[in-house]
Amino acid sequence: MRFGFMEDFRNPVKWRRPWPEFYHAILDQIAHCEKLGFDHIWLTEHHFTEDGYNPSLMTTAAAVAMRTSTIRIGTFIVILPYQHPVLMAEEVANVDILSNGRFDFGVGQGYSHYEFDALCMNRSERGMRTRESIQLIERLFTEEKVSLDGRFTQVKDVTISPKPVQQPHPPIWIGARGPKAITRAAEMGYHLMATIGPDPAPLYLDTLARNGRNPDDYRIAQLRMVYCAETEDQAWDECQDHLFHLLEFYQDILSEAKDAEGDDAPLPVTKPSDMRESVLADVFMVGTPDQVAAKIERFQGEFQCTDFIMGTQFPGLDPARGTRALEMFAKEVMPRFRSN
């Protein structure tokens, strides 16, 4: 199992730091985590939020490429309907070159009603836009001249140059939450990214096999919230306010999206006096290294996963504390699972 961590560059008003200072602190954190042996840094996207949730993944990926040399850099996820597929293909190629072939291209269809409304886009078309775009992008990576008279995009004799370093193209991942999206990812032959919820692996792997694909050739990434400290009380005291800020954001957009089972009431609406009282407390991997390791062992028994992704740098958390938690995980938890 490979280990990665997610960065969203959220800087809430309540704990706000000057933006340049904050961005540089997170880039420093990423560079340090490369030295700690993490396999992946994953970048995630939203738009128009008060806490500045990272709206520009490819720019950030290029910055990470310049600060690192071995860790893989991925997007979890680019919201593809918002992007022109030709320009996105060129940006992916650019980042793959800057990183010398270390880029993983994760995409999804998005779900926030607010974002689609703000961009004056028809949300009901997002699935069709995503399929058309990703198929066009893959063709641009692998063919010399590409023409398409599509429903959403029209191009004529397009050749992107330069091409990506990785051949035939960087790994493509699909972020999927509901059964339709999971099935579609397998049918199209892309790796799978999942968040907290029922395990998507059985449906995904069965669909791969039914479509004549070898499941062993594909990867499944699963995201969990993880925070390590010397004691359980310290871990919760340091992260719970920031963790709730994260949950509150997703409570609003998921309950409106209603894309997957449980979206109508996915997360606590009001903050408990102690986040250990939350209905999701068992899902959060918060505590000492031994406690976190025990939760990962239980996770491995319940979910199929090749790439474990940690959310640790919660919104507003002091980056020094986030870095310390990631370092503790890398030194005291990660080695226990490297052979698994």
Q: 253-266, pLDDT tens digit by residue?
A: 666 655 655 555 54
Contacts of range 115-119, beta carbons closer than 8 Å, 24 or more positions apart: 115/46, 115/47, 115/48, 115/79, 115/82, 116/81, 118/47, 118/48, 119/82
**pLDDT of 30 strictly over 60:** yes
Evaluate whether the domain defined by 2-242+283-337 bears CATH number 1.10.10.10. no
Mean pLDDT, the chain, rounded, equals 93
Rounded to the nearest 5°, which phi and psi values hold at 51? -95, 10
pLDDT score recorded for residue 178: 85
Amino acid symbol at 9: F
Cα(285)–Cα(280) distance, integer angstroms? 10
Nearest alpha carbon to residue 247 among 231, 228, 270, 229: 270
Judge if pTM exceeds 0.85. yes
The percentage of the chain sitting over the pLDDT mark of 90, rounded to a whole number, equals: 85
Cα(251)–Cα(278) distance, integer angstroms? 13
Separation in Å, CA 326 to CA 57, 108, 219, 315: 22, 27, 23, 15
Q: 275-304, pLDDT tens digit by residue?
A: 777 666 678 999 999 999 999 999 999 999
